Amino acid sequence: GESVGLHLPTLSVQEGDNSIINCAYSNSASDYFIWYKQESGKGPQFIIDIRSNMDKRQGQRVTVLLNKTVKHLSLQIAATQPGDSAVYFCAEKGSGNTGKLIFGQGTTLQVKP
Amino acid sequence: EPEVTQTPSHQVTQMGQEVILRCVPISNHLYFYWYRQILGQKVEFLVSFYNNEISEKSEIFDDQFSVERPDGSNFTLKIRSTKLEDSAMYFCASSDDLGEGYTFGSGTRLTVV
């Protein structure tokens, strides 16, 4: 089954289920979006990115969906594993050239064995 | 896989002291960044650096902060007179000319006592 998370601080799922983590971004002019995974005591680790001219992008076990109409981004993780337990952040980059990323609040994903 | 390396991993300093946090970005990247993360909060942008000058800085990056690229490989963040509220994880990141390939280091945990 699936577990769908609204933008809640914590999402708890059963191992093997699919996870969906949601994010609302702030700037309609942002043209590049990244999902990061952060494990305790470590830096943000790149998962997948998407440009604003795309609606969907797939990676290995992960899919990012972008809905520019409502400024919404989601990360889908298929067959969630214990190693997926971490905090997940979405980040947006504006259309300027400075490369600045604006991070969302983050969602803690807990995977139950 | 190329990495951004940061030193030290932990730094404890007394209030009012100067600290220098060090980073070695990915060698062919052109944009360099510092971010910070207060415990339990989201990652916040501090400054971006391109072509040997600051391209953008946040409100957090006041006169107590400075950045430098002293040679072809290092990128440093200096805090002149640390305050208790400067205690946080500080992340260095770098990206390529398009602002992609964004990679974070593992961070320096700064504790001001």
Q: Dump pLDDT digits (tens) for A47-91.
A: 999 999 999 999 999 999 999 999 999 999 999 999 999 999 999
Query: pLDDT grade, residue B98 (50/70/90)?
Result: low
pLDDT value at A105 more than 70: yes
Confirm or reject contact between A44 and chain B (CB < 8 A).
yes
Confirm or reject contact between A34 and chain B (CB < 8 A).
yes
| Tokens 């690229």 -> residue | B69
Number of residues assigned to chain A: 113
d(CA A41, CA A53): 34
Q: Dump pLDDT digits (tens) for A10-57.
A: 999 999 999 999 999 988 888 899 999 999 888 999 999 999 999 999
Residue A5 pLDDT: 33
Chain B residue numbers touching A99 (CB-CB < 8 A)? 31, 33, 48, 50, 55, 95, 99, 102
Q: Dump pLDDT digits (tens) for B79-93.
A: 999 999 999 999 999
d(CA B47, CA B44): 10
Percent of chain B with pLDDT over 70: 98
pLDDT value at A7 more than 80: no
Chain B residue numbers touching A41 (CB-CB < 8 A)? 107, 109
B16/chain A closest Cα distance in angstroms: 26
Residue A1 pLDDT: 38
Query: pLDDT grade, residue A3 (50/70/90)?
Result: very low
B6 versus A95: which is more confidently predicted?
B6
Q: Which residues of B69-87 are buried (b: 16+ CB within 10 A; e: fewer)?
A: beeeeebebebeebeeebb
Confirm or reject contact between A97 and chain B (CB < 8 A).
yes
Longest Cα–Cα distance in chain B: 40
Q: What integer best gives the mean pLDDT of chain A?
A: 89
